[in-house]
Each structure stands twice: as structure tokens, then as C-alpha cells.
Amino acid sequence: MSGSLLKNEPLAKYTSWRVGGPADQMYLPENKQDLIDFLATLPKHENIFWLGLGSNLLVRDGGVKGTVINTRGRLKVMQLIDSTKVYVEAGVACPHVARFCTDLGLSGAEFLAGIPGTIGGALKMNAGAFGGETWNIVDRLEMVNSNGHVTNRGTDQFEVAYRTVKGIKNEWFLSVILTLKKGETQISQQKIKTLLEQRSLTQPTNKPTCGSVFKNPPGDYAARLIESCNLKGYALGGACVSKKHANFIENTGQATAADIEKLIEHIQQQVKQLHDINLHTEVCRVGESL
């Protein structure tokens, strides 16, 4: 193996909320082939968790048992493979994908500029922003299983819905081919600029958050429901509902994962009590509680 294997590695420094206990072990692959080779060495029933930019993720204070694969700054190859198709490895940050496609004069990926995660994470949850969704531009996918076996799959082999993707168990995204449209670089650049300005105005982009915490219920907005319960600015421990956007929870400096999880549950209870609506989390919760 040419990558790095870290033991008992604290995960708080890898998550955008800046909370989370340690991983039993974390592997930082040198490249895609190195990752494939490493997976083939793991015990048959090893618990494997993939970590990208650490957004849309709550790692509990007891940490993660098993092996964490860290793709941040790795699995970063992007290339044009024909006039409208772009190959992207799972560790590439979504904003980089947006800029790369724009520079090539391709349109359709601009919305990715507003997603603070990797393309692997965006594929896992069908991430979206400003009216765009990841799987609307997916052509084919390269998957790897826990034995290091690689398979190419079409979109018809996945169940894709709002912020939800179901594929084959114990397979993970290695890379994707995106299908885009011919566009004009200047127009796409202006669109990205406008999207980012809107995001900065409406979201607490300079605070430790995970992005949107809850999925929007059908025909409504999670932020509106939370705000109607007078929860903007409400805090539990070091976790606080953002005053700028109610569907964001900020770490005010000393939050634990337990603080954040308790606040999530309190918000759900209040919205259920006032509106009889069950808010479902968009954020992925993993690991052990203390």
C-alpha cells in the first residue's frame, strides 16, 4: 500500500461541524488503484465508512468502529472523455467539478458550486442546490465493493429519489461519468457567481455547520417550519439553530455531537407538536454515542 493508515484517528478535524470521536483506523489512499488494493486486504466483515469533506455528516462522540476511508484531496482525477461527458473520481469537491465543467464550456453542473462536499457524497445522497440534483447529470458509475472488486453500473441499477439513493449493499462510488450540455463559459461563470452570492446571503457559510440538517417535506420547507416554532437562535449546549437560516445548526465553539443530536431531536419534536409534520434528517449520523 502506498497510502497512509492512521490508528485511533480523531474525526472532529475532518468534519465541517468540527465534532466527532475517533476512528479505529483511517486510510488515506494514494490513488484509486491503491484504494482498491487496500480494500482487498480488509477482513471480510470489516465495517467500512467513507469520508469526503465531512459535510452533511454527524459523527457521534464515541467515534466510528472499523475503517474510515478518507477521500479528501484524493481520488481527484477529472477529465473530459468526449464532447459532453466528464469523468470525475469520488474525492473531487463538487465546486471544483462545477468550475471544471464551466471552463470546458459545458453547462448543467453549475449547481454543484453550492454543494460543500465531494462528488462521492453528492452521489450517495442525490445532493442538490438551487434547483439542480446530482443524479440528473449522471451517465454511468464505477463502483467498488468491500473485496476491492470494481463494477461499472448504469443509473437503472439504482433507486434515486429526493436526497436518497439506494444501490447494491456494500458497494461504494469510485467515479462517475457526467453527461452535460454544450454551453458558454461566461454564462455559466455568471450563473455560478449568482448562486454563490445567493448562498452567502441566505446561509451561514462562515460558521461550522453540516449544511442543511433536514429534508424539505413535500410542498413545504424545513426552514419555514422550524422558524415558525420560534427556534431560530435556540441553543442546547454548544449547538445553536442558525439565526440566518433555520435549517442550519451551528457549532458555537464547544458543541459535542450529543449537543447537536439533542437539538435535532428537539426541533423534530417541536415541529411535530405544532404542525403534525415529521421532519426527516438530511444529515447522515454515524458512530457510537458516549
Q: Which cell numbers in the block locate residue 209?
A: 455547520
Residue 130 contacts residue 109 (beta carbons within 8 Å): no
CB contact burial 279-288 (16+ within 10 A = b; e otherwise) = bebbbeebbe
The helix, strand and coil proportions of the chain, stated in percent and rounded to the nearest 5, come to 30, 30, 40
Task: Tell me the HSE value of 87 on the side-chain side, using a 13 A CA sphere.
Answer: 9
Which residues are tagged catalytic?
A: 163, 212, 282
Tell me the angle at which helices 94-103 and 185-202 cross, rounded to the nearest 10 degrees. Answer: 150
Q: What are phi and psi of 207, to 5 degrees?
A: -115, 155
d(CA 114, CA 225): 23
Cα separation, 115 vs 112, whole angstroms: 5
d(CA 87, CA 208): 31
Q: How many residues does the chain have?
A: 290
Contacts of 197 (CB under 8 A, 6+ apart): none
CA distance 114 to 195: 7
**Phi (first) and psi of residue 52, to 5 degrees:** -105, -110
User: What gap in Å lies between CA 134 and CA 121, rounded to an integer?
Assistant: 10
